[in-house]
């Protein structure tokens, strides 16, 4: 729990602070006096003033931050500061200052995705398992062992790429063209018809519903018990079992069942060790299991080994990948919001701080790459959310400024007050629904 809370605090603190830095940088460029930049909320623990008179503060609650500007000339302590007030700037400068926060989050997402591409990540290879009969993948002629090379003309390197490229189509339905290459090197193009499917938070994996499932992992030898049949046969930690008897590429379950059914019988094993194939023989030892049945065991621990690929890009490619992935995420987020409004997507998919904290902890435990990917995704979400035309959000202020441009004069104060009330109500309703969904997931 403490680890999850720490991962959540770091994520939220970093992303919101970067958001506020966007406002700060552009405000300074536009000549607006910034009174305070606070990392965190609440009581100020540490503070210092820079040569511009801005107070940099570290506050007690480390969940974000804020920028306090000189809003109007009436707040100025000195006459020369009156022109540095926010509302004294042109509407275009105010638009730049307000829009800089969400833009900073999108830029951060680009940089994080680019970093992952530049450093490289180890991901499951895009190898397909056996599509169940009657599924779109099976009807399209996709077979077990096929390697997916492209989706709708866009090349893919990993299973994560496959999932991402198909994310939109499997949620809305339609036609998708899947290019594959089989184990003999023969290329093929498959036209897959995907039906529209209801999106529920506790629903089945939509990609698996199409019949596209990741290939069954190969059994890999973990610990080998000294003196066991496995040790006597020559099995070593790290060996990958490619065949047992006449069963090629068995799953972990199939391998265990095969061994258990042959106590005292010699079995043939083909293993892969450091790229070379070796043939071994083992005789499973007869033992009695918890049900009183005699089964065969060879005394090794097995794990599942997925074929993996290293996904890495060059410097310019990484940046391009970051821009493309961020743009696709923005578009998908907006599309899902629209479908939620018209009722095509359940509002139960809306998540709040509890779910976000849970995913922060999960990704941090998986590793740094997963956590960075999570940060990029949430950074996009913060940017998109703040650009929505809801009063009290940055997008609401931008909406007022656009109205000001159309009218040729500022929006009346009563409009602003009414908008604030509406915006507060909308945000309160959204937060209530998000918390409700969080606790439903938590307790069910």
Q: Is 203's pLDDT higher than 80?
A: no
Domain boundary among 305, 332, 354: 305
Domain boundary at 276, 305, 334, which? 305
- Say if residue 231's pLDDT is above 80: yes
- Tell me, what's the pLDDT at 198? 64
Q: Which of 80-84, 115-119, 303-307 has the highest mean pLDDT?
A: 115-119
pLDDT bucket at 109, cuts 50 / 70 / 90: very high
Asked whether residue 325 is domain-assigned, the answer is yes
Domain co-membership, 181 together with 140:
yes
pLDDT at position 275 over 90: no
Structural domain range at position 359: 94-120+314-444
Pair 152, 209 in one domain: yes
pLDDT band at 152 (very low <50, low <70, confident <90, very high): very high
Please say whether the beta carbons of 214 and 179 come within 8 A: no
What is the Cα–Cα distance from 308 to 125, expressed in whole angstroms?
5
Average pLDDT over residues 18-47: 90
Percent with pLDDT over 90 in the chain: 38
Other CB atoms within 10 A of residue 11 CB: 23
**How many domains in the chain?**
3
Mean pLDDT for the chain? 87
- What is the structure's pLDDT at 83? 85
Question: Would residue 335 count as lying in a domain?
Answer: yes
What pLDDT does residue 200 have? 65
Residue 265's pLDDT is what? 93
| Non-local CB neighbours of 411 within 8 Å, separated by 6+ positions | 400, 403, 404
pLDDT value at position 377?
Answer: 92
pLDDT for res 252: 85
Instruction: Name the band, by pLDDT with cuts 50, 70 and 90, for residue 105.
Output: very high
Cα–Cα distance for residue pair 266/259, rounded to 1 Å: 10
Question: Does 319 share its domain with 412?
Answer: yes
Q: Are residues 429 and 419 in the same domain?
A: yes
d(CA 297, CA 146): 33
361 pLDDT above the threshold of 90: no
Same structural domain, 231 and 192: no
CATH label of the domain that carries residue 171: 2.30.42.10
Using N-to-C axis directions, what is the helix angle for 368-387 and 2-29, rounded to 10°?
A: 50
Lowest mean pLDDT among 35-39, 179-183, 440-444: 440-444
Same domain, 267 and 360: no
Residue 428, pLDDT > 70, answer yes
Tell me, yes or no, whether 417 lies in a domain.
yes
Same domain, 234 and 192: no
Same domain, 330 and 424: yes
Say whether 189 is catalytic. Answer: no
Q: Which of these, 228, 299, 298, 239, lies nearest to 270 by C-alpha position?
A: 239
Q: In degrees, to the nearest 5, what angle opens at C-alpha 100 toward C-alphas 96 and 102?
A: 135
- 283, 311, 339 — which closes off a domain? 311
Looking at 20, 144, 187, 293, which residue is catalytic?
Answer: 20
In this prediction, residues 294-312 reach a mean pLDDT of: 86
372 and 345 inside one domain: yes
Q: What is the pLDDT of residue 201?
A: 60
């Amino acid at each position: 729990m403490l680890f999850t809370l720490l991962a959540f605090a770091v994520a939220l603190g970093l992303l919101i602070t970067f958001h506020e830095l966007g406002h700060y940088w552009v405000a300074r460029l536009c000549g607006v006096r910034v009174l305070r930049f606070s990392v965190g909320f609440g009581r100020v623990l540490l503070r210092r003033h820079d040569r511009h008179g801005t107070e940099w503060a570290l506050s007690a609650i480390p969940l974000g931050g804020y920028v306090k500007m000189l809003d109007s000339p009436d707040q100025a302590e000195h006459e020369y500061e009156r022109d540095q007030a926010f509302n004294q700037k042109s509407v275009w400068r105010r638009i730049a200052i307000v829009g800089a926060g969400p833009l900073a989050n999108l830029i951060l997402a680009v940089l994080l995705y680019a970093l992952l591409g530049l450093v490289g990540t180890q991901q499951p290879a895009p190898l397909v398992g056996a599509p169940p009969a009657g599924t779109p993948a099976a009807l399209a002629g996709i077979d077990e062992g096929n390697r997916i090379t492209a989706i709708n003309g866009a090349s893919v390197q990993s299973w994560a790429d496959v999932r991402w490229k198909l994310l939109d189509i499997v949620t809305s339905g339609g036609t998708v063209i899947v290019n594959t290459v089989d184990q003999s090197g023969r290329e093929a193009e498959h036209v897959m018809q995907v039906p529209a499917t209801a999106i529920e938070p506790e629903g089945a994996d939509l990609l698996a519903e199409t019949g596209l499932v990741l290939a069954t992992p190969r059994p890999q030898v973990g610990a080998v018990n000294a003196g066991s049949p496995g040790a006597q046969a020559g099995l070593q930690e790290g060996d990958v079992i490619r065949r047992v008897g006449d069963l090629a590429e068995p799953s972990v379950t199939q391998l265990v069942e095969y061994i258990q059914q042959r106590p005292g019988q010699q079995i043939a094993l083909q293993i892969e060790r450091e790229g070379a194939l070796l043939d071994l023989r083992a005789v499973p030892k007869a033992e009695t299991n918890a049900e009183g049945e005699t089964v065969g065991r060879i005394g090794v621990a097995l794990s599942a080994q997925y074929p993996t690929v290293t996904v890495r890009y060059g410097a310019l490619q990484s940046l391009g990948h970051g821009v493309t992935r961020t743009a696709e995420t923005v578009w998908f987020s907006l599309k899902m919001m629209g479908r939620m409004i018209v009722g095509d997507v359940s509002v139960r998919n809306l998540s709040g701080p509890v779910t976000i904290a849970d995913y922060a902890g999960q990704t941090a435990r998986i590793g740094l790459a997963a956590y960075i990917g999570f940060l990029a995704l949430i950074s996009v979400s913060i940017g998109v959310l703040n650009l929505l035309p809801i009063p009290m959000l940055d997008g609401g202020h931008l909406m007022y400024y656009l109205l000001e441009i159309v009218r040729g004069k500022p929006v009346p104060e009563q409009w602003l007050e009414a908008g604030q009330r509406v915006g507060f109500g909308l945000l309160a309703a959204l937060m209530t629904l998000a918390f409700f969904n969080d606790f439903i997931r938590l307790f069910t």
